[in-house]
């Protein structure tokens, strides 16, 4: 038998104790006191799990009537799939997220090989099944990056290098670069050039690899004002970072402040860029914005900001800034039809040094009217929305553009979900008045 002492299912929100999965024993997980799930859409025996310590994998089968997710993809009922160390189980698709962990975890090389193979198999399915929430639910969630990449934030004030196989984790080990991870080869206080460096201590690579294997995301944060002043060549410094990460032999994400301002330590800009994000939803009344936010973003820890609840855009901006200051991600669930309405949230995101993405609900006006009529029939608390309001949105609408300051624009198709077959039957009737 492999040297595995334990296999656990860990809630990423730590809302309950880890669930032990004994070797070759079928365990059912779902609604109940163990998971603290009370949602009746979740069956008491929603999924069957059977760990195999020799293979270091867990076989999963959906038993409940509503959809379970594996790494963001829908699992068909009674279909068996394999989970490995670090894989993500959504007891209901997009909700109640857990992670499979073997103790001790597999070696870094073994984990990389398994993940690379799995990602190749899932790439095509991911493009189809995850287009609803790819940009938000994990450009930085659970699947490892298949290629190293550089990002330029806020006109070059912040640079981010994400090495291959960087995986988002609930635990973060963050370090300064100069004087901590590296020191000068020359012995000078400041490096002579971008080649004047060496690893500070021989123990550093081993310590970082152990943290990585223990489930930490490794992050470096460094102030490099010389780039902003022009005394340090940015391309030379980028090459230096890549060489350092390669020398360490462990996946690392590196944040580089190139000047003064919110990104320079000890200001929180780099940290906020790591942990916080803003998603601005754009869509007419009835387009499915609130459904999308509550189904896909709020379960991932996004703070929900809504003008209908708060009463004014000023209060929305205030709540947004307070959440960002606390290191939280935020979803703005307003119609946001024009540049002016969107710009105030973009400005707040940039002020706090976080990414701001725009999710556009591609629901047609006719479909939105249908949704509003359905809610009018089925929800006594729903205030009817006149066609005039929807038409006014259409008149004000301006197609969002990255030129406004968004890091990305994501198009969302409306896909309704039903727990009640009678409601589904009603929804599919022609409800609009002629």
Q: Which of 128, 245, 111, 129 is nearest to 167 (CA)?
A: 111
pLDDT of residue 334: 95
Q: Which of 186, 189, 184 is nearest to 244 (CA)?
A: 184
| Rounded distance between C-alpha atoms, residue 290 and residue 293, angstroms | 5
Mean pLDDT of 222-234: 94
Does residue 145 or residue 354 have the better pLDDT? Answer: 354
| Rounded distance between C-alpha atoms, residue 14 and residue 273, angstroms | 23
pLDDT of residue 236: 94
In a 10 Å sphere around its CB, with 0-12 CB exposed, 13-18 middle and 19+ buried, how is residue 49 labelled?
buried
Instruction: Determine the topology of domain 276-427 in CATH.
Output: Rossmann fold (3.40.50)
Pairing of strands 73-75, 68-70: antiparallel
Asked whether the predicted pLDDT for residue 420 surpasses 50, the reply is yes
pLDDT of residue 271: 84
Neighbours of 247 (CB within 10 A): 15
Which residues of the chain are in CATH 2.60.200.20 domains? 6-118
Whole-angstrom CA distances from 208 to 12, 181, 214, 270, 355 are 22, 10, 10, 20, 27
Per residue in 331-355, pLDDT tens? Answer: 999 999 999 999 999 999 988 878 8
Instruction: State the angle between helix axes of 365-378 and 387-396 in degrees (0 to 180), rounded to the nearest 10.
Output: 150
- Give, as one character, the DSSP assignment of residue 67: P
pLDDT of residue 215: 86
Mean pLDDT of 174-190: 94
What value does the CA radius of gyration of the chain take, rounded to a whole number of Å? 24
pLDDT of residue 282: 96
Q: Is cis: bond before 213, omega within 30 of 0?
A: no
Which residue spans within 224-370 are E strands per DSSP? 252-257, 277-282, 303-305, 330-332, 355-361
pLDDT of residue 337: 95
Q: What is the average pLDDT score of the chain?
A: 84
Q: Which of the four CATH numbers 3.90.105.10, 3.40.630.10, 3.40.50.1000, 3.90.850.10 does domain 149-272 have?
A: 3.40.50.1000
Does residue 172 or residue 122 have the better pLDDT? Answer: 172
- Give, as one character, the DSSP assignment of residue 198: E
**Lowest-confidence range among 8-17, 100-109, 188-197?**
100-109
107 confidence band (pLDDT: 50, 70, 90): low
pLDDT of residue 433: 59
Class of domain 6-118: mainly beta
Does residue 276 or residue 180 have the better pLDDT? Answer: 180
pLDDT of residue 72: 67
pLDDT of residue 291: 87
| Rounded distance between C-alpha atoms, residue 103 and residue 214, angstroms | 9
Q: Among residues of the chain, what percentage have pLDDT more than 90?
A: 46
Which residues of the chain are in CATH 3.40.50.1000 domains? 149-272
230 confidence band (pLDDT: 50, 70, 90): very high
SS3 of residue 289 by DSSP: helix
Asked whether the predicted pLDDT for residue 124 surpasses 60, the reply is no
Determine which helix (DSSP H) or strand (DSSP E) holds 395, and give its type and residue range: helix 387-396
- Give, as one character, the DSSP assignment of residue 293: I
423 confidence band (pLDDT: 50, 70, 90): confident
Per residue in 385-419, pLDDT tens? Answer: 888 888 899 999 999 998 999 988 988 888 877 77
Whole-angstrom CA distances from 60 to 31, 47, 78, 102 are 16, 7, 9, 15
Query: Is 170 within 8 Å of 161 (Cβ atoms)?
Result: no
Number of helices and strands (H, E) in the chain?
A: 13, 22
| Rounded distance between C-alpha atoms, residue 105 and residue 170, angstroms | 16
Q: DSSP letters along 339-389, please?
A: HHHHHHHHHHHHHTT-EEEEEEE---HHHHHHHHHHHHHH-TTPPP--HHH
Neighbours of 38 (CB within 10 A): 9
pLDDT of residue 3: 67
Q: DSSP letters along 13-60, please?
A: T--SPPEE--BT-EEEE-SBTTTTB--TTS-TT-EEEEEETTTTEEEE
Does residue 431 or residue 365 have the better pLDDT? Answer: 365
Q: Among residues of the chain, what percentage have pLDDT more than 70?
A: 88
Which residues of the chain are in CATH 3.40.50.300 domains? 276-427
Mean pLDDT of 206-219: 92
Per residue in 194-212, pLDDT tens? Answer: 999 999 999 999 999 999 9
pLDDT of residue 125: 38
pTM over 0.75? The answer is no
Q: Which residues pair with 118 in a beta bridge?
A: none
Asked whether the predicted pLDDT for residue 168 surpasses 70, the reply is no
pLDDT of residue 170: 66
Does residue 95 or residue 3 have the better pLDDT? Answer: 95
pLDDT of residue 141: 33
**Lowest-confidence range among 42-51, 94-103, 104-113, 198-207?**
104-113
């Amino acid at each position: 038998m492999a040297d595995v002492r334990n296999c656990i299912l860990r809630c990423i929100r730590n809302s309950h104790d880890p669930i032990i999965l004994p070797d070759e024993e079928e365990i059912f997980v779902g609604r109940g006191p163990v998971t603290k799930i009370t949602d009746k859409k979740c069956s008491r025996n929603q999924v069957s799990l059977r760990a195999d310590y020799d293979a270091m994998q867990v076989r999963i089968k959906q038993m409940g009537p509503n959809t379970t997710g594996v790494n963001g993809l829908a699992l068909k009922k009674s279909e068996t799939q394999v989970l490995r160390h670090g894989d993500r189980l959504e007891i209901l698709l997009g909700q109640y997220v857990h992670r499979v962990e073997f103790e001790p975890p597999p070696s870094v090389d073994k984990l990389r090989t398994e993940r690379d193979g799995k990602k190749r198999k899932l790439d095509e399915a991911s493009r189809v099944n995850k287009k609803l929430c790819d940009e938000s639910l994990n450009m930085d969630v659970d699947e490892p990056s298949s290629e190293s990449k550089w990002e330029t934030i806020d006109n070059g004030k912040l640079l981010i290098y994400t090495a291959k196989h960087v995986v988002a984790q609930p635990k973060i080990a963050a370090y300064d670069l100069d004087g901590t991870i590296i020191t000068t080869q020359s012995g000078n206080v400041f490096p002579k050039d971008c080649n004047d460096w060496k690893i500070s201590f021989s123990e550093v690579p081993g310590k970082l690899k152990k943290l990585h294997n223990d489930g930490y995301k490794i992050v470096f944060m460094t102030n490099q004002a010389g780039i902003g002043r022009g005394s340090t060549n940015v391309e030379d410094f980028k090459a230096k970072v890549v060489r350092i990460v390669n020398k360490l032999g462990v996946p690392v994400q590196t944040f580089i402040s190139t000047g003064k301002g919110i990104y320079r330590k000890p200001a929180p800009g780099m940290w906020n860029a790591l942990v916080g994000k803003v998603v601005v939803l754009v869509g007419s009344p009835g387009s499915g914005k609130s459904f999308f936010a509550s189904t896909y973003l709020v379960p991932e820890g996004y703070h929900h900001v809504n003008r209908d609840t708060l009463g004014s855009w000023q209060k929305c901006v205030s709540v947004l800034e307070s959440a960002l200051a606390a290191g939280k991600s935020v979803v703005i669930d307003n119609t946001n039809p024009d540049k002016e309405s969107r710009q105030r949230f973009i400005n707040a995101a940039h002020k706090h040094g976080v990414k701001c993405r725009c999710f556009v609900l591609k629901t047609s006006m006719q479909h939105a009217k249908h949704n509003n009529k359905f809610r009018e029939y089925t929800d006594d608390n729903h205030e009817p929305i006149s066609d005039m309001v929807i038409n006014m949105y259409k008149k004000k609408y301006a197609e969002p553009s990255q030129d406004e300051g968004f890091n990305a624009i994501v198009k969302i198709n409306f896909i309704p979900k039903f727990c009640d077959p009678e409601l589904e039957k009603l929804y599919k009737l022609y409800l609009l008045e002629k």
